[in-house]
Structures are given as structure tokens and as C-alpha cells.
Structure 1
Amino acid sequence: MSNTARIVKGYVTGNRLPPEGVIELVSVVGEVLRSLNRPVSGLEAVRRPPGQAALPVGDHAPTEEEIKASIGETYLVSFEDGKPYHKLDWHLTRRGLTPEAYRAKWGLPDDYPMMPTFYRKKRADNALQVGLGYWDRTRGKNPPVEPDPRRLGKRRRRGRPAAP
């Protein structure tokens, strides 16, 4: 049984249609399924992240609007395959590209980010919490890290308990 017949059968079992409506439904479903089997050409849009317009994928230089649309708060859209990623450089490494080569290939500015804003902020906050980024110039060392008040008094014992 073809996919068209399966889809139409499933729709007709739960909905009432006149005979001419079934014929129209078969032709529409068949056309949609045939269009899905066609290969994607160079400039056709593929997947898009929620709330964003589809970005074309191909060998053309993206426009300024496409570049802005590819940078989201929680993701970056790759011009290689049109999919959203949290860390674009990991995706590019799997495709054999460096960030510099990716920017040159697509004509992107030198300051085009490789990770979204929320991820950069999250990593920066974590680094500051553990004491990275602070340098005491007078003593030439990092300031001591204050212990987390939630963990005070909750030391885990390791090994055997102490002898009485």
C-alpha cells in the first residue's frame, strides 16, 4: 500500500468527505509526498529554528539579514546545513572546517560568534564563580575562593570511620 493511500485512508476513517473530496485529497497528498522526495537544490530553505524564517543553504554569500537571523539568543544556525547549534565550532570541526575557514567560505565578519549569547554568559559566570578572571596585582596571585555556604558543614566522609 502506498504512503498516499495510507494517509488518505487514515484521514477518511475519521472524517466525512464527499466522493469528489476524496479524489482531491488523494491528488493533494500525492503531490506533497512527491515534493518531499525531490532533492533539495542549492538555494532552497531547509530546517529552521522555532520563530525564525528559514535560512537558505547553498554556495551563495548570505545577506546581512540572513546573517542577523542566524544568530539567536540560544542557538546559531549553520549556513552549511541550516540547522541550529549551541556550539557552532564543534559542528564545523565534524565537517572539517575551522571557524576562520567557515567565516571566509560564507563571507561572514571576523567577529561572527561561534557560540550563542546565553552560552557565553553562562560560561563567563561559571568562570567568575570559581575565581578565574581575578588577579591580585599587589600580591601576584588569585584571591582565595570563598566556600559555598550551602555546602558548609556537609563534608562527606571518605573511607572508614575514625576509630573511637
Structure 2
Amino acid sequence: MQEQNYLIELTTRVVEAYVEGNQVDHEAIPALIRETYTALAGLGKDAKPAEEAKPERAVTARKSLANPDQILSMIDGKPYKTLKRHISNHGFTPESYRETFGLSANYPMVAPSYSARRSEMAKRIGLGNTKGQKSKRATKAEATA
């Protein structure tokens, strides 16, 4: 009984809001009330869980890695130097992205040439060396200077 009263109250609110914002023929209101009540009463009853549709790949895994300067996104097929921000904007983590599109666990999130450039720059400024230890390149540069 309480559920029915609740449904009637909800139906009243929904129909009232709809009629206030739209031009409705007065003869159509009873049908609108009936349809709204039926729709609200049917919510949650015998609901079948929707199967999650796997998104289609925009490109193949091989094609996405064909150019060392960029990685093509499986989501939209556009080129990126690094995918992390792009996939997070679409609600993925690197792991879930790989899983969703059936990619291997070692599928890169950064273009190979971009990664190599960043690595080279880090080595050049001495990152990764223990404190007080100079890199081999810095030592060679001082020796030649």
C-alpha cells in the first residue's frame, strides 16, 4: 500500500512537471498519467542486467604501434605520444584499457621514440645516479673540456 501511494506521488510529480513545461492536450493527460505510472511501477522489476558491450577497436594493435613517434588510440584512432591522460579522460586505467581491448600486459602507454628522448634527457641531467656520483657522460664531458 505504501509503495502504491509512493508511486502515485511520483507519477503526480512527473506528470505535473511535464505538463508545466510542455503544451499537452487535456484529452491526452489520462493516457500520460497511465503510461507514467506503468513506467514507474515497472522500474527495477525483472530487470535483466545489460551486457557490457566491448567497445570496438578503432585500429589494430599492430597498426597502433606501427609508427615509433606515436601510438594510435584504440578508442578513437588518433595519434598520441603518451596515452595515459587520454585513456583516463575516457574512464580507463592502463590495466583496464589493456584488458578491454585485449592487449598484452606489456603493451606500451608511451611512444617508443618519445620514451627514448625522455630517457636520454634524464641521463644527460644526471637523474638516476646515486647522490654525489656523476654520470659517465658528465665525466667524459669534463675530461674533454
TM-score (norm 2): 0.51
Please, which of 54, 63, 68 is the counterpart of residue 62 of structure 2?
A: 68
Could you say which structure has the greater relative contact order, defined with CA pairs below 8 angstroms and 6 or more residues apart?
2
Q: SS of the counterpart of 2:55?
A: coil
Alignment correspondent of 2:38? none
Distance 1:107 1:142, change over 3 A: farther
Q: SS of the counterpart of 1:80?
A: coil
Identify the structure with the greater helix proportion: 2
Aligned residues: 86
Runs of at least 5 residues in structure 2 that lack an aligned partner in the other structure: 1-53
RMSD of aligned Cα (Å): 2.8
Alignment correspondent of 2:55? 59
Q: Which runs of 4+ in 1 moved over 2 A?
A: 58-63, 144-149
TM-score (norm 1): 0.45
Alpha-carbon contact 1:62-1:106 (below 8 Å) kept = no
Please, which of 72, 82, 85 is the counterpart of residue 90 of structure 1?
A: 85
User: Identity percentage over the alignment?
Assistant: 32
Alignment correspondent of 1:15? none
Q: SS of the counterpart of 1:100?
A: helix
Distance 1:115 1:128, change over 3 A: same
2:121 is aligned with 1:123: no
Distance 1:130 1:94 in 2: 32
Per the TM alignment, residue 133 of structure 1 is displaced from its structure 2 partner at its CA by 2.3
Question: Which structure has the larger Rg over C-alpha atoms?
Answer: 2
